[in-house]
């Protein structure tokens, strides 16, 4: 989806209008790269959620790494984490994601948080293979 969005942004920046046909062609080209002959034309926006926010696919990677960072904190002190996590959920909508996650002890500005999260992901890969 990110590559599709980059394609669309590049076409717009190049002065090309994003007609329904062009959007459908760009989507199908990127979909075919992943699904091969199983890819289908976009049709009547059969995946509208990916058009709501720019770089929608990035959000999955970000959220996954944040969740893996939370799992590190949970393992260190499950009882405290449970209390802080429930408080974060209750505060949903009252702050930015970074502010809410900080309440659980996850400092998104700390490069070590991301290193730990990537190490968690690497460990999951080791389990899977």
Residue 45 has pLDDT above 70, yes or no: no
**Does 38 share its domain with 74?**
no
Q: Are residues 79 and 108 in the same domain?
A: yes
Same-domain status, 37 and 78? no
pLDDT: which is higher, 44 or 96: 96
Same domain, 76 and 117: yes
| Alpha carbon distances (Å) from 61 to 109, 111, 114 | 16, 16, 11
**What is the pTM assigned to this prediction?**
0.61
Q: Which of 34, 54, 74 is the last residue of a domain?
A: 54
Residue 23's pLDDT is 87
The Cα 82–Cα 45 span in angstroms is 39
Answer with the one of 32, 54, 76 that is the final residue of a domain. 54
- Clarify whether residues 69 and 117 are in a common domain: yes
Residues 66 and 123 placed together within one structural domain of the fold: yes
Give the number of residues written for the chain.
129
Same domain, 90 and 77: yes
pLDDT at 129: 77
Per-residue pLDDT averaged across 33-59, rounded? 68
Q: Examine the domain organization and report whether 50 and 64 are in the same domain.
A: no
Q: Are residues 101 and 67 in the same domain?
A: yes
Distance between CA atoms of residues 5 and 29, nearest Å: 12
Q: Do 14 and 36 reside in the same domain of the chain?
A: yes
Tell me the pLDDT band of 51, cut-offs 50, 70 and 90.
Answer: low
pLDDT in tens, 77-113: 999 999 999 999 999 989 999 999 999 999 999 999 9
121/66 same-domain check: yes
pLDDT per position as a tens digit, 18-43: 888 898 889 889 888 888 888 777 65
CA separation for the pair 91, 94 (Å, rounded): 6
Domain containing 37: what range? 2-54
Calpha distance 108→67 (Å, rounded): 12
Average pLDDT of the chain, as a whole number: 87
Q: Are both 114 and 88 inside the same structural domain?
A: yes
Q: Read off the pLDDT of each residue in 65-77 and give the average, rounded to a whole number.
A: 95
As for how many domains the chain has, the answer is 2
Q: Residue 84: helix, strand or coil by DSSP? A: helix
């Amino acid at each position: 989806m990110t590559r599709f969005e980059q394609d669309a942004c590049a076409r717009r920046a190049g002065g090309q209008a994003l007609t329904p046909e062009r959007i459908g062609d760009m989507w199908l080209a990127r979909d075919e790269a992943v699904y091969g002959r199983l890819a289908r034309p976009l049709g009547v926006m059969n995946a509208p959620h990916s058009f709501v926010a720019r770089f929608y696919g990035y959000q999955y990677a970000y959220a996954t790494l944040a969740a893996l960072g939370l799992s590190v904190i949970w393992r260190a002190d499950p009882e405290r984490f449970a209390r802080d996590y429930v408080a974060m959920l209750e505060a949903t909508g009252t702050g930015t994601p970074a502010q809410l996650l900080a309440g659980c002890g996850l400092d998104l500005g700390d490069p070590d948080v991301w290193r730990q999260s990537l190490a968690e992901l690497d460990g999951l890969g080791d389990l899977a293979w």
